[in-house]
Amino acid sequence: MQYWKKLTAAEQDHRITHALEQNINYSQGFSLGVPASTLDDKVFYDKAPFLKDAPLLRTYVHNPNHIGCHTLGESEPFFRGTQEIEREVIELLSVDMLCAPEQHCDGYITAGGTEANMQAVWVYRNYFQQEFKESAESIAIIASEDTHYSLAKASNVFGVELFPVKVDVESRKLIIADVEKVIKNALKKGKRYFIVIANMATTMFGSVDDTSVYTSVLEKLSLPFKLHVDGAFGGFIYPVSEPGSNLTFANSQVSSITLDAHKMLQAPYGTGVFLIRKGLMPYVYTEEAQYVNGMDITLSGSRSGANAIAVWMILQTYGYYGWQEKIETLLKRTDWCCKALDERSIRYYRHPKMNIIAICAADIEKAVAEKYFLVPDTHHGSPNWYKIVVMDHVGMEQLKDFVSQLKSPISN
Ligand SMILES: *Cc1c(COP(=O)(O)O)cnc(C)c1O
């Protein structure tokens, strides 16, 4: 591990205190021009004694604005201390989690996986438009039918048509013949450039796409494409449980990756992560953003710097090996639950390196599924699947209790 070490709470506090000291101090000197200040001190009392032991809460009170992207070009100097910590997070995740060479990626903390996926589509749409002098009508997004709906949102916002690819009902794997069919259909509709979204674990199943299923077809037809990996759910699990997959920057065809620290990492909401190889972010440069120092190349404008600090603290508290142990524990519990389902002949889908179990709705009583708040694949009509996500709070007690309520379906 290059960067991902364990730091004690005191070491973290020291680092964050130092970073906050390098940011603007509104109470000292003269800060007349920035439309920003600390949190309102009539409401958020900044002398509360517990703040001295809580560097994240101190950061919230200081309220740094991390507007823009801090891995390239200039940035607002007022918040340079905490921006440096955000840069560390981006570099740590790119290199130590996702196998990029050092200083190879740009990135920023987004509002969530949705924004990071939209940022990817925005960059690649502009890339094809600028490099090939083409309109959005000639560009297609291709992604499996199990892909998160944020890609449908991106398709709508950026005016790039989405072409879903079918997956096998049982294995949830991409159907190669359908990839070919979908691409040929897109060509017929005048699409010539492809934005491919590969899932590093889908939201409903935890299934993982093999990128080569897409790229082999696109290469055979000599079609230009950009490949984005949606790791919003699996990005903090799969690279650890399955090192050497083709869904990291070790695969030269992967240009960008979405992660979501507010899912498996249990960070506060507002901690998506967008990572992209250098050279691509400038395609979304907004020239009109004159009042911001540096390049405004992110979908969100102002955003809280405290979010980057929260992600950094979680990563530094565990260290790589601590995180690996946590993932192993979650996978063991998932294994145990799957075995209990097998013993009862209850059908389900589970990727062996992921912590999601999608149970066949026909094989579980609705009342049991609802009692344990299993999530259905649809809220309209009758569901086909109910999923369990084995998070930190889903312990053996809870799983045993759940399993004790299960009956073997007679239909089997
Ligand atoms: C949750 C999720 C998203 C969207 O993330 P938000 O943080 O809710 O915006 C996108 N893709 C996948 C695979 C997800 O699991």
**Distance (Å) from CA 287 to ligand 1 centroid:** 29
pLDDT-derived band at 294, boundaries 50, 70, 90 = low
The DSSP output letter for 268 is: P
pLDDT at 293: 66
DSSP 3-state of 259: strand
pLDDT at 88: 97
Contacting residues for 98 by C-beta, under 8 A, at least 6 apart: 235, 239, 248, 249, 257, 275
Q: Does the pLDDT of residue 361 top 70, yes or no? A: yes
Assigned token pair, 95: 């290199």
The CATH class given to the 320-404 domain equals alpha beta
Q: Which fold has domain 70-317?
A: Aspartate Aminotransferase; domain 2 (3.40.640)
User: Rounded to whole angstroms, how far apart are CA atoms 264 and 353?
Assistant: 14
**Distance (Å) from CA 159 to ligand 1 centroid:** 20
As for ligand 1, residues whose beta carbon falls within 6 Å of it are 112-114, 117, 148, 150, 202-203, 230, 232-233, 260, 272
pLDDT-derived band at 373, boundaries 50, 70, 90 = very high
Q: Choose one of 109, 110, 114 to mutate for the ligand 1 pocket test, by most ligand atoms within 8 angstroms of C-beta.
A: 114
Mean pLDDT over residues 59-68, rounded?
Answer: 94
pLDDT at 32: 74
Query: Where does 100-206 have alpha helices with state H?
Result: 113-132, 150-158, 176-188
**What is the tens place of the pLDDT at every residue in 101-120?**
999 999 999 999 999 999 99
Measuring CA to CA, which residue among 228, 201, 218 is closest to residue 124? Answer: 228
Instruction: Pinpoint the residues of the chain covered by CATH 3.90.1150.10.
Output: 320-404
Taking 3-state DSSP, the helix, strand and coil percentages for the chain, each rounded to the nearest 5, stand at 40, 15, 45
pLDDT at 37: 86
Residue % of the chain over a pLDDT of 70: 97
**What is the tens place of the pLDDT at every residue in 227-263?**
999 999 999 999 999 999 999 999 999 999 999 999 9
- Mean pLDDT for the chain? 94
Instruction: Pinpoint the residues of the chain covered by CATH 3.40.640.10.
Output: 70-317
Query: Where does 249-379 have alpha helices with state H?
Result: 306-343, 366-371
Q: Does the pLDDT of residue 286 top 80, yes or no? A: no
pLDDT at 292: 66
Assigned token pair, 31: 């800060």
| Cβ contact 261:311 at 8 Å | yes
